[in-house]
Amino acid sequence: MIDNFAVIFVILLCSVLLWFFLCIRLFKILETRHPEKYESMGKPSLFLNNSISNNITFMKFLFKREWRGLNDPNLALLSNFMLVFFVVYMAVFLTLFVSIQVRYVL
């Protein structure tokens, strides 16, 4: 029997790669179409300028829906998708975490 753990792990791994792609795309849109917002966020990037402060600012941008003030429909669509994707990802991650705890405790 294939373990649910392995299936969820592979799904999460693929999800991380998709998240990286979405972040790169969002950062590029902000950099080219909304440079003032991009600079106010600390010029976030996936690897080069990746700090805790920039990550917090980025998550605030998503959760506070700050993209609405930029009046960019493509950015709004991408940001909405990323917000939902993040919430679903965390739910799956926590499911995996709990299943590991339950597996080794019982």
DSSP code, position 47: S
Number of domains forming the structure of the chain: 1
What pLDDT, on the 0 to 100 scale, is given for residue 1? 42
Amino acid at 57: T
Distance (Å, whole) CA 74 – CA 81: 11
34 within 8 A of 72, measured Cβ to Cβ: yes
Domain that holds residue 69: 4-105
In this structure, what token pair is assigned to residue 41?
């966020």
pLDDT at 2: 57
Residue 14 predicted with pLDDT over 80: yes
Tens digits of per-residue pLDDT, 26-77? Answer: 999 999 999 999 999 999 988 887 788 889 999 999 999 999 999 999 999 9
Arithmetic mean of pLDDT, 87-100? 86
Mean pLDDT for all residues in the chain: 89
